[in-house]
Amino acid sequence: MELETKLHEIKKPIMVLGTSSGAGKSLTVTAICRILKNSGEEPIPFKGQNMSNNAWVDWEGGEMAYSQALQAFACGINPSAEMNPILLKPQGNSTSELIHLGKSIGITTAKNYYKDWFIPGWEVIKKSLNFIYRKSPNCRLIIEGAGSPVEMNLIHRDLTNLRVANYLNANCILVTDIERGGVFAQIIGTLELMKPEEKKLIKGIIINRFRGDLSLFEDGKKWIESKTQIPVIGIIPWLNDTFPPEDSLDLLEKKSSFSNPEIKVGIIKLPSISNFSDFDPLENEKSILIEWIRESQNLRKYDFIILPGSKQTIKDQIYLENSGLSQDIREYSNSNGNIVGICGGLQMLGTTLEDPYSKEGSKIYSEQKIKGIGLLPLKTTFLEKKLTRQINSESLWPCQAKINGFEIHNGQTKLDKTQNSLDVKPLFKDLDLGWYKEDNKGGSIAGTYIHGIFENDSWRDEYLNLIRKSKNLPLLNKKSISYKDKRESIINNLANEFDKHLNLKSFLS
């Protein structure tokens, strides 16, 4: 039976809308998911459409936004692509890869997206909602909106805000960021631009990121409630969150708070960087300082550098060559530096990249075959079909350990037998997942297709211990808290802070 005929039977969904992008919707949903889980409910996150290159792969091989995967972890359940049925992965020049229910279905321009994909998009959203409720009829959906719900030039074709709210008759919360200023205008302006039937869906307002004494906003709270006739259900203080931002530009604002780091890591800030949540486990290591490298420089100040994933590997490799960073990386390696490449970063460390099907933007750059950085004898060919899967393997270096993670890539990488490859060894028992080589002076180069490699505690600790040993630092304690336990602690702390300042009782009818 279709969901439309059963809406009176389901638990009232909660939807979090924002007065703008970056208002705090993702973290608010994450917190509510954990609060409700802890109260004995069965929350499930949902975001009809997301735009992000920070992706996750579910256990069926489906791609979804990492933020919805994180929200699923907060619910204590496995992420599923139905929780984010439409994912747009920007790749420059106003084009995006379009993912429906976890599978890539093509490339679209911004201009043609709503003309070609609005109706199919709404159908896939409804299909996902039906799937979720058939599988979990007693769940409560916690839905995240996108950007602002009242972008007037887009509202008639907005798939993921008020259309979803109206369809499910959800209880909506409007979140606004007081840190940005203009909070009263943000709230009043957003509500005034809604139709009366839409405005009726807004049952509560959250003031997010308030600095200082919360009691100082009491008069502001009363004014908002008097003006809107909507209760302010929470004033959330400024929280030092450590979750990955949706927009990779925000990475430039992430600054380490550690004043005396033992290890300094440089991450190349590629123009088309993807899957930057790969580095969260390093962000949570108190001994590590992370810096983002955006221009040519001497890299010797770093104990190791990382080449991250890329949505357009060929475009980013051309950028590295033109900026001088490729040469910087080669010189760093020649000086016994330590390098880790992940996915696109692995591909760029090789000798050649070939794109016969123009999957990586090579048509735009009139290139079908280019040279890589050349530090590993690897040849990559980008194929028509993307590989997306969860990984369970075992590492061979720097230690033998169980490895979990996931793959997302078009490229197929092989050892180049025409070059000296005798000193290059497989990184895992699954031979096509990565390679490494060490020099006789302590430097190393490792590349892997596994996203989430640093989430594997034994592997991360052993790699960091190689670095620490070269610096005569004490080795890491093997009894240290695992990253996934730290993530759980972060989610719990987030939920606890929200729970102190948020009244959800009226939303749980």
Cα 130 vs. chain centroid, distance in angstroms? Answer: 26
Please say if the pLDDT value at position 238 is more than 80.
Answer: yes
> 4-8, 106-110, 244-248: which range is least confident on average?
244-248
Per annotation, catalytic residue among 100, 343, 399, 501: 343
* Helix or strand run (H / E) with residue 68: helix 66-75
164's tokens:
């979803």
CA atoms within 13 A on the CB side of 31: 25
Cα 344 from Cα 320, distance rounded (Å) = 13
Active-site annotation holder among 139, 172, 409, 451: 451
CB atoms within 10 A of CB 329: 26
- Specify whether the CB–CB gap between 34 and 488 falls below 8 A: no
Region 468-476: mean pLDDT is 93
Residue that the structure tokens 């093509």 belong to: 106
Residue type, 356: P
CA 277 to chain centre: 5
pLDDT for 481 equals 77
3-state secondary structure of 502: strand
Q: Please state the rounded mean pLDDT for residues 206-217.
A: 93
Cα(416)–Cα(354) distance, rounded to whole angstroms? 13
Residue with tokens 């997301």: 50
Above 90 in pLDDT, residue 381?
yes
Q: Is 451 annotated in the active site?
A: yes
* Across 200-208, average pLDDT: 97
pTM for the predicted model, two decimal places: 0.93
For helices 313-323 and 325-334, angle between their N-to-C axes, nearest 10 degrees: 80
d(CA 408, CA 433): 12
Q: Indicate the DSSP class of residue 92.
A: S
The H-or-E segment that residue 260 falls in is none
The whole-angstrom separation of Cα 196 and Cα 127 is 28
Q: What is the pLDDT of residues 55-103, one digit of tens each?
A: 999 999 999 999 999 999 999 999 999 999 999 999 888 899 999 999 9
Neighbours of 9 (CB within 10 A): 11
Tokens 């180049």 correspond to 416
Residue 500's pLDDT band (cuts 50, 70, 90): very high
Beta strands in 131-262, from DSSP E residues, in sequence order = 140-144, 171-177, 202-210, 232-237
Q: Which of 41, 6, 58, 98 is nearest to 390 (CA)?
A: 58
List, in order, residues 6 or more apart from 485 with CB less than 8 Å away: none
Q: Is residue 248 scored above 50 in pLDDT?
A: no
CB 159 within 8 A of CB 32: no
Which stretch of 86-100, 213-227, 359-373, 374-388 has the lowest confidence by average pLDDT?
Answer: 359-373
Top-confidence residue, 241 or 208: 208
Amino acid sitting at position 141: L
CB 451 within 8 A of CB 342: yes
Give the pair of three-digit tokens for residue 207.
Answer: 């003031």
Extract the runs of DSSP E, i.e. beta strands, from 211-351: 232-237, 263-268, 273-274, 288-293, 304-307, 309-310, 338-342
User: pLDDT (tens digit, 9 = 90+) per residue, 35-49?
Assistant: 999 999 999 999 999
Q: Please, which residues bridge with residue 265 across strands?
A: 290, 304
pLDDT for res 312 = 92
What average pLDDT does the chain have? 92
Q: How confident is the model at residue 252 (pLDDT cuts 50, 70, 90)?
A: very low
Q: Which pLDDT score is estimated for 373?
A: 98
Question: Do residues 87 and 50 lie in contact, with contact meaning Cβ atoms separated by under 8 Å?
Answer: yes
Tokens matching residue 289: 């300082």
Contact 377, 419 (CB under 8 A): yes
Pairing of strands 369-371, 338-342: unpaired
Q: Which pLDDT tens digit goes with each residue over 144-203? A: 999 999 999 988 889 999 999 999 999 999 999 999 899 999 999 999 999 999 999 999
- Residue 148: CA atoms inside 13 Å, Cβ hemisphere, count? 17
| Domain 12-239, CATH homologous superfamily name and number | P-loop containing nucleotide triphosphate hydrolases (3.40.50.300)
**Correct CATH for 248-480 of 3.20.20.70, 3.30.230.10, 3.40.50.880, 3.75.10.20:** 3.40.50.880
Predicted pLDDT at 1: 46
* Start-to-end Cα distance in the chain: 24
Domains 12-239 and 248-480 share a fold: yes
Domain map (residue ranges) of the chain: 12-239, 248-480
Strands (E) located in 102-242 = 103-109, 140-144, 171-177, 202-210, 232-237
Q: Do residues 378 and 416 touch, judged by C-beta distance below 8 A?
A: yes
CA-CA-CA-CA torsion sign (138, 142, 143, 148): positive
Cα separation, 172 vs 15, in Å, equals 5
Average pLDDT value for residue range 127-133 = 97
- pLDDT computed for residue 417 by the predictor: 80
